[in-house]
Structure 1
């Protein structure tokens, strides 16, 4: 659950979940699988790298039961993710969309700052 006193802005959402930015705690909130998980900014990007590194093709090609799911416990969280291949793909979509919007906002702010300096 997101802190009721926090000021959150939606970064990206899909039918499978969403990412919010909390200005009060300077963190990102991931809403996925009917739960919400808070991440420090650096941990959020580290978690995205871990999700992107999962070899989905290997999971699909492996007939053993242990290959049906990936279990991840992100750094500095109390959450344990048990992810099927479909969950991994849905989570990748959410995290990639959020990263794109975050980078786009940073680039826009950088351009606006440089244009403001030139106007002075």
Structure 2
């Protein structure tokens, strides 16, 4: 559950999860697998990098039982993600969409600032 005192804005959402930005605490909230996890900005980007580095092809080709799931324990959280291949793909979609929207928002702000400077 997201803190009721937080000032959150939706960054990106799918049917299976969402990412919210909290401007009050300067962090991101990930809703996934019926839980909510808070990340600092840098930890969020590190978590995305870790999820992106999971070798899906290796998981699918490996017939051992240990290859069926990936366990992720994000830095500075109490959360443990146990992810199947499908979960990893769904999580990647959420994280990719959130990162794209964050970068797009940054570009829009930069362009608006340039336009404001040129108007003066």
Query: TM-score if structure 2 supplies the norm length?
Result: 0.99
User: Are positions 1:92 and 2:92 aligned together?
Assistant: yes
Q: How much does 1:23 deviate?
A: 1.0
> 1:48 maps to which residue?
48
2:75 corresponds to: 75
Q: Deviation digits for residues 85-116 of structure 1, max 9, x if unmatched? A: 00000000000000000000000000000111
Q: Counterpart of 1:25?
A: 25
Which ranges in structure 2 are unaligned for 5 or more consecutive residues?
none
Give the Cα–Cα distance (whole angstroms) in 1 for the partners of residues 100 and 50 of structure 2. 17
After superposing on structure 2, the runs of 4+ consecutive aligned residues of structure 1 that deviate more than 4 Å are: none
* Match status 1:103 vs 2:107: no
Q: CA RMSD in A?
A: 0.5
Cα displacement string for residues 41-72 of structure 1 (whole angstroms, at most 9, x for unaligned residues): 01101100000000000000000000000001
Q: C-alpha distance in 1, partners of 2:72/2:6?
A: 27
